[in-house]
Amino acid sequence: MKTRKIGNLEVSAIGLGCMGMSHAYGEATNMSEATDLLRKAAEIGYTFFDTAEVYGTPDNPHHNEELLGEALKPIRDKVMIATKFGLSFNTKSGQIPYPLIADSRPQTIRQSIEGSLRRLQTDHIDLYYQHQQDPNVPVEDVAGLMGDLIKEGKILGWGLSEVDEATIRRAHSVTPVTAIQNRYSMMARWYENLFPVLEELGIGFVAFSPLANGFLSDRYNANSTFDKSTDYRASMPQFQAESYQENQKLLELIRNIADDRNTTPAQISLAWMLAQEPWIVPIPGTRKVTRLEENAGAASVELTPQEIETINRQLNNIPMSKVFGQKN
């Protein structure tokens, strides 16, 4: 697969978001199946694997990191691993999705990095993100500690998730930021206003939910159902029955381009994103080898500037439902 530079790291143009193997998309995948999938991903050409200490199950809150640690241990020198700190779930709330609890105190981060290193069976983490801003800890303090961890060799780079320009500049002034990980898709474009500052500062953009939680794969319809107790899609606005009609023009747009190109809607959605900037890396997730191969194939789909202009113009004007993560 082609590669891209995000900050000081070189990674596969499409990364693999691993959260869904353990959390939020139904019951966790068993270790054997997930290990086979992760190693197959590496064979296909994925070199960038994304996880977090909080991605787990009620029985094993660190399931995902443990899974990656075991699966990637034999090929650790050939892959980049990103994980995250500073967040936990309130699993006792009775709410789905679980409410979030931020904690980026220095002592918590120190405990987190040691736990992640142990579970990932590695001596360093390639990219270490603050998962969510902690209102009680200035981002400058977090950035300073990240600088210490880089000097100690425990991380190669660091990043922030779902932040604004002011926060990026404050953090970067203390310890250069490698990458920002924000939600981004054809349905979620509100962080495009950060592109100029990322270009200016040489920071990469890692896009999570690049297919709008799978909606833009065009493999679901108004009759699709999800387990309310384990699958967040059951409550996501784009997967409600009435939303399919609201999003009909969007789906037709990507279907038509995919048909013309003999590709798939998912590949067009990812290729569109790759064409926006050379330092954007989407990290779609999946549990299926066929989807791994399909998503990887998007790195070879090159849309023309005219096609991108047409898509962007239509995205600015066609109606869409709300999408999970939308603030207004």
Query: Under a CB-based contact definition with an 8 Å cutoff, are residues 214 and 24 in contact?
Result: no
Asked if the model's pLDDT at residue 225 lies above 80, the reply is: yes
Asked if the model's pLDDT at residue 91 lies above 80, the reply is: no
Higher pLDDT: 92 or 142? It is: 142
In this prediction, residues 141-160 reach a mean pLDDT of 98
pLDDT of residue 286: 94
Give Cα 224 distance to the centre of its chain.
24
pLDDT of residue 151: 98
| pLDDT tens figures, 107-150 | 999 999 999 999 999 999 999 999 999 999 999 999 999 999 99
- Nearest 5°: CA angle at 264, between 263 and 266? 130
| pLDDT tens figures, 231-283 | 889 889 999 999 999 999 999 999 999 999 999 999 999 999 999 999 999 99
* Whole-number percent of the chain with pLDDT over 70: 97
Task: Based on the residue annotation, tell me whether 184 is a catalytic residue of this protein.
Answer: no
Rounded CA separation 90/113 (Å): 21
pLDDT of residue 119: 97
* Whole-number percent of the chain with pLDDT over 90: 84
Annotated catalytic residue within 55, 128, 232, 244: 55
Asked if the model's pLDDT at residue 13 lies above 70, the reply is: yes
Q: Residue 289 to residues 66, 160, 292, 318: CA-CA distances in angstroms?
A: 21, 30, 5, 33
Highest mean pLDDT of the ranges 96-100, 145-149, 221-225, 302-306: 145-149
pLDDT of residue 228: 86
Q: Which pTM was predicted?
A: 0.94
pLDDT band per the 50, 70, 90 thresholds, residue 29: confident
pLDDT of residue 56: 85
pLDDT of residue 265: 97
Q: How many C-beta atoms lie closer than 10 Å to residue 184's C-beta?
A: 25
| pLDDT tens figures, 275-305 | 999 999 999 999 999 999 999 999 999 999 9
pLDDT of residue 92: 67
Asked if the model's pLDDT at residue 328 lies above 90, the reply is: no
**Ramachandran class of 283: left when φ > 0, alpha when ψ lies in -120 to 50, beta otherwise:** beta
Asked if the model's pLDDT at residue 97 lies above 90, the reply is: no
Residue type, 248: Q
What mean pLDDT, rounded, does the chain reach? 94
